[in-house]
Amino acid sequence: MSEQITFTPTRPYLARAIYEWICDNQLTPYLLVDATQPHTDVPLQFVKDGQIVLNLAPHAIHQFHMSNDAITFSARFGGVAKEIYVPIRAVLGIYARENGQGLFFDASEYAEIEDTTAPPVDEGKQDAEPTKKKPSLRILD
């Protein structure tokens, strides 16, 4: 009786390792993303042929987090801040801008794996533009 063992995909582990190698060598990490994948939240005005390249240089992004499920960070695009959410299944490659060295992934690696990831829902966020509160002072007795 043979049992089929299911392993987790290698993509998130390899992406983290390549990202660290690129940064350790003072190069600029670029992320190639399949923007057509479900739950991918990137600035659509910069998507070409269903793909987008994102600059992951530490000085260009904020609140960077790379988990086994997704890559999230905040960045400015055309002067406008945007929260980015890239499911790991949407990552097609990570490479150094200066020399192109890095790793590109097989797009079919996640074909047999059910997509159970969804961007976290922030209960504090509303769909409408947040209203800014005026600063106020209160005297306490």
Mean pLDDT of the chain: 85
> pLDDT tens digits, residue range 31-46?
999 999 999 999 999 9
- Looking at residue 129, its pLDDT comes to 46
Read off the pTM. Answer: 0.77
The C-alpha R_g of the chain, in whole angstroms, comes to: 19
For 21-102, CATH gives 2.30.30.220
Contact partners, residue 75, CB within 8 Å, separation at least 6: 54, 55, 60, 61, 62, 81, 82, 84
65 vs 46: CA distance, rounded Å: 22
The residue among 113 and 43 whose pLDDT is bigger is 43
Residue 84 has pLDDT above 50, yes or no: yes
Mean pLDDT for the stretch of residues 50-70: 96
Domain locations in the chain? 21-102
